[in-house]
Structure 1
Amino acid sequence: MIAWVLRSIVLGALVVALRVVLGFAMVYWPTHGAQMRALSLIALLAAVVVWGLFDGRRNRAADSGRGPDLTMRWLKVAVAGGVGSGLVAWLLDFLPRFDLGDNGLLFEVTAGASFIILLIFVPASIGIGIGRLLAERKAGKGRSTPPSLLSAAGTAI
């Protein structure tokens, strides 16, 4: 249980931190909004994919066969991170000098949270798949002979 809680707290805090930095930057450099939004999105996606990649590699390396499914762990991470970051951002928006979009609570815990859920869950799933693939490839390099392309009868498949 502690694994998904840690991930959701860290990724939710990253989302809030990126929104705060983006809010401050938009006040001082409003003409560079598109670039700053893209940079924030890339930073979040990179963090999620890398963490998913490490999870996938560790999962496949720990179990030489098929490791346990990480889908539910990352779905819980995404939901907790999305809803939690929406609540924190909504609360921070009441503080002076924090411009986080003036969104209402209903928006933050529904539409805003669902977007963050997708931004966490989908890239994490991609990272897990790549990590498992890399772990299988690394484990497969120890074979002395490559797998045969011939069937039992000796004909090419």
Structure 2
Amino acid sequence: MSNWLLRGLVFAALMVIVRLLQGAMINAWETRAGLISIILVLLFAVAVFVWGLIDGRADARANPDPDRRGDLAMTWLLAGLFAGIVSGAVAWFISLFYKTLYVEGLINELTTFAAFTALLVFLVALLGVTLGRWVIDRNAPPVTRHRSGDDERADTDVFAAVSQPEGEQTSELETSEVRRDS
């Protein structure tokens, strides 16, 4: 199972639980609906933050060189999108049988609610990843970067396509002189 799928499944299930608790608690204490919703979303965000923090620390320990670290942004983006779409669909399906659950139509659940969940998961997890990497990096010794071994990443390196070999570098002044002469 890929990293993003595991995270997406966990947070989709957690969001469905949050929605079920929200429905039950709001029906019990109607005057506290706003507070209940905020607290439940904050608890969900704390769980996402903790997992992101653990991810960031583990990645920084495994790869001391920041250029060699994993792309956790895409992992968490895919996890958030998956969690949003799946939790919205499951909550809508449950609402067919459990009428007191607060859900909208299927299209709203698969678009608006999914976007909210995806954004929440993505932003909070990246905040955790950033903090986790920073905690490890602040006490780490300076990293010696070796740029000669980057040939294996040349197809995905954006700057490899525009960089010139060392012997062929020209200054901007030389380039403008060549243009005037022509």
TM normalised by structure 2 equals: 0.73
The answer to whether 1:29 aligns with 2:29 is: yes
CA contact (8 A) 1:20 1:99 kept: no
State how far apart, in whole Å, the 1-side matches of 2:103 and 2:125 are.
29
The answer to whether 1:8 aligns with 2:8 is: yes
Counterpart residue number, 1:78: 80
Structure 1 segment 120-131 matched on structure 2, within 5 A: 120-131=121-132
Deviation, 1:2, is 2.1
CA contact (8 A) 1:4 1:77 kept: yes
Indicate the SS of the match to 1:100: coil
Deviation, 1:38, is 1.3
State how far apart, in whole Å, the 1-side matches of 2:38 and 2:141 are.
38
Structure 1 segment 102-117 matched on structure 2, within 5 A: 102-117=103-118
Amino acid corresponding to residue 82 of structure 1 in structure 2? G
Indicate the SS of the match to 2:85: helix
Indicate the SS of the match to 1:68: coil
Amino acid corresponding to residue 16 of structure 1 in structure 2? V
Counterpart residue number, 1:91: 93
Deviation, 1:112, is 0.9
TM normalised by structure 1 equals: 0.84
Counterpart residue number, 2:156: none
Amino acid corresponding to residue 83 of structure 1 in structure 2? I
Amino acid corresponding to residue 82 of structure 2 in structure 1? A
Deviations 1:32-54 (A, max 9, x none): 11221111011011011111111
Considering only CA atoms, is the larger Rg found in Structure 1 or Structure 2?
A: 2
Structure 2 unaligned runs (5+)? 143-182
CA contact (8 A) 2:49 2:127 kept: yes
Deviations 1:88-133 (A, max 9, x none): 000000113x422241110000111001111100111111100000
Q: How many residues align?
A: 140
Amino acid corresponding to residue 71 of structure 1 in structure 2? A
CA RMSD of aligned residues (A): 1.4
Amino acid corresponding to residue 39 of structure 2 in structure 1? L
Structure 1 unaligned runs (5+)? 142-157
Deviation, 1:140, is 4.1
Amino acid corresponding to residue 104 of structure 1 in structure 2? G
Q: Which has the higher contact order (CA 8 A, sep 6+)?
A: 1
